[in-house]
């Protein structure tokens, strides 16, 4: 009897880009990142295309099949682009054809839009610079800093055992990655924060499925991304702190596949 692989249903996503608050340099990384979460069925970008300020975006629209939406600036100092994007988002929402939205902007004006979309049960992925106001970041299910998409956070390493552990989740001091002396300084990983989540959702033996850990981290900190701290994946970050965390592989590489579990090493064990 033939064994058929399980069908994977991808999310249908609408990508809405605020051209006034997003750089064209992110376009390659942006759609590579979006492909991890689903299929971009709608790709629209909003701005005043009559001026020269969006020249960078004009060069890449056709290559990525992004539909430009013209929005004139009716009054100086007023951002009509935001209103056009929000109206389109609501129109698309009521078609009930989408599982999620990708909002690309560093503008906090989209905070209420993100909240409204989530109220309807849709997943909201935010993309913006590190300067993005906290309310917009928190309103999204997942928020990706666009500096990562431009490769500005460098020095990703697969081991990272030389990274010192932070004293608290709020600590913002930075450390250099020893394996890449020329790399940009990276913020310390929120080790204590991750450890607390592990303790909160662990089974009787202290283990947590790595996927569940990542989901719970994103619920509390939508902006969390291992790449910000120099790791490609959450599993690599966990491995990077062997004195604090333990990683275990269960299952085989066969049909069922293997899964990863993490555990917080308790002091003295």
Share of the chain above pLDDT 70, in %: 78
Classify residue 102 by its DSSP letter.
E
Compute the distance between CA of residue 160 and CA of residue 9 in angstroms, rounded to an integer.
35
pLDDT band at 254 (very low <50, low <70, confident <90, very high): low
**Residue 117: half-sphere exposure toward Cβ, Cα within 13 Å:** 32
Residue 225 CB neighbour total at 10 angstroms: 19
**Partners of 14 in the β-ladder:** 42, 101
End-to-end alpha-carbon separation of the chain, Å?
Answer: 48
Kindly report, residue by residue over 75-126, the tens digit of the pLDDT: 554 467 788 999 999 999 999 999 999 999 999 999 999 999 999 999 999 9
Tokens in use for 132? Answer: 């993005």
Backbone angles phi, psi at 145, to 5 degrees: -75, 130
Compute the distance between CA of residue 110 and CA of residue 113 in angstroms, rounded to an integer.
5
Q: What is the mean pLDDT of residues 188-200?
A: 92
Q: What is the mean pLDDT of the chain?
A: 83
More confident residue, 217 or 168: 217
Kindly report, residue by residue over 67-76, the tens digit of the pLDDT: 999 988 665 5
pLDDT at residue 173 tops 50: no
- Per-residue pLDDT at 208: 94
Kindly report, residue by residue over 16-42, the tens digit of the pLDDT: 999 999 999 999 999 999 999 999 999
pLDDT at residue 267 tops 90: no
Compute the distance between CA of residue 79 and CA of residue 74 in angstroms, rounded to an integer.
9
Q: How far is CA 98 from CA 73, 115, 124, in A?
A: 29, 16, 11
More confident residue, 92 or 185: 92
Length of the chain in terms of residues written: 269
Residue 83 CB neighbour total at 10 angstroms: 14
Compute the distance between CA of residue 57 and CA of residue 250 in angstroms, rounded to an integer.
46
| Contact indicator for 99, 14 with CB cutoff of 8 Å | no
| Contact indicator for 157, 180 with CB cutoff of 8 Å | yes
pLDDT band at 51 (very low <50, low <70, confident <90, very high): confident
pLDDT at residue 215 tops 50: yes
pLDDT at residue 171 tops 80: no
Question: Cα torsion for 242, 246, 251, 253, to the nearest 10°?
Answer: -20
- Per-residue pLDDT at 207: 94
Q: At what angle do helices 191-201 and 210-220 cross, to 10 degrees?
A: 120
- Per-residue pLDDT at 105: 96
Compute the distance between CA of residue 118 and CA of residue 99 in angstroms, rounded to an integer.
10
Q: pTM of the full predicted structure?
A: 0.76
More confident residue, 56 or 78: 56
Tokens in use for 250? Answer: 């269960």
Structural domains in the chain, CATH included, are: 11-149 (3.40.50.1010), 174-264 (3.30.420.610)
Kindly report, residue by residue over 119-159, the tens digit of the pLDDT: 999 999 999 999 999 999 999 999 999 999 886 644 333 33
Which helix (H) or strand (E) element contains residue 149? helix 146-149
């Amino acid at each position: 009897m033939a064994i058929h692989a399980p069908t994977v249903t991808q999310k249908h996503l609408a990508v809405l880009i605020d051209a006034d608050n997003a750089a064209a340099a992110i376009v390659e990384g942006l759609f590579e990142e979006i492909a991890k979460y689903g299929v971009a069925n709608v790709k629209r970008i909003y701005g005043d295309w009559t001026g020269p300020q969006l020249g960078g975006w004009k060069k890449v629209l056709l290559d990525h099949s992004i539909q430009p939406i013209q929005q004139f600036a009716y009054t100086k100092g007023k951002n009509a682009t935001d209103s056009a994007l929000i109206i389109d988002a609501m129109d698309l929402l009521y078609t009930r054809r989408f599982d999620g939205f990708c909002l690309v902007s560093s503008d906090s004006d989209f905070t209420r839009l993100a909240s409204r979309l989530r109220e309807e049960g849709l997943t909201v992925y935010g993309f913006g610079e590190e300067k993005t106001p906290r309310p917009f970041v928190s309103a999204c299910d997942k928020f990706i800093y666009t500096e990562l998409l431009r490769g500005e956070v460098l020095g990703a390493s697969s081991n990272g055992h030389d990274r010192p552990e932070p004293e608290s989740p709020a600590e913002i001091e930075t450390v250099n990655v020893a394996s890449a002396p020329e790399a940009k300084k990276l913020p310390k990983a929120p080790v204590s924060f991750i450890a607390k989540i592990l303790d909160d959702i662990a089974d009787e033996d202290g283990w947590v499925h790595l996927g569940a850990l990542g989901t719970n981290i994103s619920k509390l900190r939508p902006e969390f991304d291992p790449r910000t701290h120099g790791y490609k994946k959450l599993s690599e970050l966990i491995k990077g702190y062997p004195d604090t965390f333990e990683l275990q592989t269960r299952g085989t590489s066969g049909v069922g596949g293997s899964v990863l579990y993490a555990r917080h090493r308790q002091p003295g064990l």
